[in-house]
Structure 1
Amino acid sequence: MAAYVNSNMKLFLLFIYCVCSAEEFNAQDYLRREHTLTKPYQGSGMSVPLWDFVGNTLVTNSHIRLTSDHQSIRGAIWNNVPCYVRNWELHVNFKVHGSGKTLFGDGFAIWYINQRMKMGDVFGNADKFVGLGIFLDTYSNHNGPHNHQHPYVSAMVNNGSLTYDHDDDGTHTQLAGCEAQFRNKNYDTHIAIRYTQNELKVSLDIDNKNEWKECFTVKDVLLPVGYYFGVSAATGDLADNHDIISVKFYELDNDADKDSQPYTGLPAAKNMESPRDRVDENKGSYIAGNLTGWKLFIVIILIIIGLCVCGVVGFVVFQKRQENSRKRFY
């Protein structure tokens, strides 16, 4: 009887193993090599098959360094095959690190846009792009009237008419975002960008737990097919190493789209807030709101001293006027 039970148990375990193996095989079946970048990167000579690099990008055996820890440089790497997959998921294994302890920047961006290899001021890429940008902003000198800390992950969909406002960290044109402490980790950090059924979902694996944690989800995002994937980075007065270890692209099977035509219009996001004008007068109140600890204590003390001085001066002026008023009656 015991032998019979053991035999059945072995068959059951074998069945579970086969099911798991089949699922793993199916997942790997949807990995699209033409949009994937893994080690070893180099082909013949200095070329990277299916990818082009520009700017200060450096290809090594272990990573692709978009920028080194030096000021005012840019770099990017671009897939040279347009993507015609309608439902997809992109996994990027990256590393951002540098010598700065409290001040560092600027960050990097992951793109799905219609024109590639155009360098500019938006994390190394040109502004007024057409498509999707996922920004991993590390610039720690917080700009603009917002309440979040850095590093910060956000998304922007642009039809070519919007400008990314660096002074406000793109707050006025972002779809959504979340704080993410991914800098200077001694283990692998990952981001997943999932686009299916017009829904954009961004997740992170930055806690060394080997599991995805949702950053944000945005519905009703319209992205056309035929655009290009790329990753760019930039440094300014502050700097960091921005390294890409791998990019893996997965096609997601969705039966609901088989009988419908792919979207071919301009990128759009129905749930995006209307762009707001930047008000420079708010900068002072924003900076004051960010003071903490001893800095805030000093500001309060200075304000109290100022009020006391004003009170004393006012009292002296009042006494002088009273004395002058009395003299007029003698």
Structure 2
Amino acid sequence: MASHVRNLSAVPMFLCVFLCVLAEWNTKDFQRREHTLVKPYQGSGMSVPQWDFLGSTMVTNSYIRLTSDHQSRQGAIWNNVRCHVQNWELHVQFKVHGAGKNLFGDGMAIWYTQERMQLGPVFGSRDLFTGLGIFLDTYSNHNGPHNHQHPFISAMINNGTLHYDHDSDGTHTSVAGCEAQFRNKDYDTYLAIRYEDNTLKVSVDVDNKNGWRECFVVHGVKLPVGYFLGASAATGELADNHDVISVKFYELESEKKNPPYTGLPEATVMEAPRDRVEDKRGSLSSYSGWKLFMIIILIIIALAVVGVVGFIVFQKQQENSRKRFY
């Protein structure tokens, strides 16, 4: 009788375990390994399965460093499998850090684009791209005052014809953005990009809260399937380490069953241009610190030369006047 009771008491426990497993199986999203990058990164030799890297990118056991804390570096890593998922969410674990306290840059980008494996001026990748770019802009010496602080996260939807303007920090081509203090943290930081039913949502965890904080939401975004995922970074006169620790891609099961979009990327809503002062070429405000220092030195030298010439001319005039007097 006791054994029979024990058997009966085990049934609820079995049902709980079964329901938990069933709940996991019925989740509305699941990870796609062909678009995921986690440790250990390397396969045979120096290769990273299903991912290609170029430029200054360095693969280690703990992270993938797109750029080191040195000037004029560009690096990128690209998934080599086309993404044919309509609704998806991408989680990027990353770390941006460096020795700079007040001056640092330039930043990194997460891509979903038609093109891949092309270094360029937009955070280490090509300009005039076709697709989605999420920019993590850390350039502290930005051009013209804005009504936001850096680092700044923004999104750009491009059909291949829009130019990213570094002089305006992409102000006039951004669809949305938010401030996010993710640089020089003692812990890893996270970015989530969710694209579902023509809605783009970006969230962050940069405060070590183990939970997402909404950065921005944009409706009316159309992205075709068949593009590539990637990440890139760049340094200029200012620098930082830009590290990618993991990239996890999830396919979402949507209640709407729409056919895949096959046109060019587009966004029906654009963010209003943020307040800024236009960068005037040739003005002192448009020059970096060392250029401004050189200009000041040249001005001092020029003034010294003018002073010496003026003194010599004055002496000659004095000598001539004394000769005429005698």
Interval of TM-score (by shorter of Structure 1 and Structure 2): 0.7 to 0.9
2:260 counterpart SS class = coil
Equivalence for 1:266: 264
CA distance in 2, matches of 1:70, 1:25: 46
Question: Does structure 1 retain, via aligned residues, the 8 Å contact 2:167–2:279?
Answer: no
1:248 counterpart SS class = strand
Equivalence for 1:210: 210
Displacement of 1:74 after TM fit? 0.4
What amino acid does structure 2 have at the position aligned with 1:271? V
| 1:130-179 CA-partner distances (Å, limit 9, x unpaired) | 00000000011132352100000000000011100101110111000000
Instruction: Classify 1:12/1:179 alpha carbon distance in 2 versus 1 (closer, same or farther; 3 Å).
Output: farther
Instruction: Classify 1:270/1:46 alpha carbon distance in 2 versus 1 (closer, same or farther; 3 Å).
Output: same
What amino acid does structure 2 have at the position aligned with 1:158? N
> TM-score normalized by structure 2?
0.79
Question: Does structure 2 retain, via aligned residues, the 8 Å contact 1:76–1:124?
Answer: yes
Displacement of 1:188 after TM fit? 1.8
Equivalence for 1:137: 137
Equivalence for 2:158: 158
- Report matched runs for 1:292-311 at 5 Å: none
CA distance in 1, matches of 2:21, 2:100: 45
CA distance in 1, matches of 2:105, 2:129: 22
| 1:97-148 CA-partner distances (Å, limit 9, x unpaired) | 1111111101100000001001100000000000000000001113235210
Question: Does structure 1 retain, via aligned residues, the 8 Å contact 2:28–2:252?
Answer: no
2:229 counterpart SS class = strand
CA distance in 1, matches of 2:10, 2:172: 59
Question: Does structure 1 retain, via aligned residues, the 8 Å contact 2:67–2:73?
Answer: yes
Displacement of 1:280 after TM fit? 3.8
Percent identical pairs in the alignment equals 67
Per mean C-alpha deviation after superposition, the further-off stretch among 202-211 and 269-278 is 269-278
Structure 2: give runs of 5+ residues left out of the alignment. 1-6, 287-326
2:120 counterpart SS class = strand
1:140 counterpart SS class = coil
- Report matched runs for 1:1-330 at 5 Å: 18-27=18-27, 30-257=30-257, 260-273=258-271, 279-280=278-279
Task: Quote the RMSD (CA, aligned, Å).
Answer: 2.8
Equivalence for 2:309: none
1:44 counterpart SS class = coil
CA distance in 2, matches of 1:236, 1:8: 70
| 1:15-62 CA-partner distances (Å, limit 9, x unpaired) | 666544444455597100000000110001110000000000000000
> TM-score normalized by structure 1?
0.78
Instruction: Classify 1:173/1:18 alpha carbon distance in 2 versus 1 (closer, same or farther; 3 Å).
Output: same
- How many residue pairs match? The answer is 279
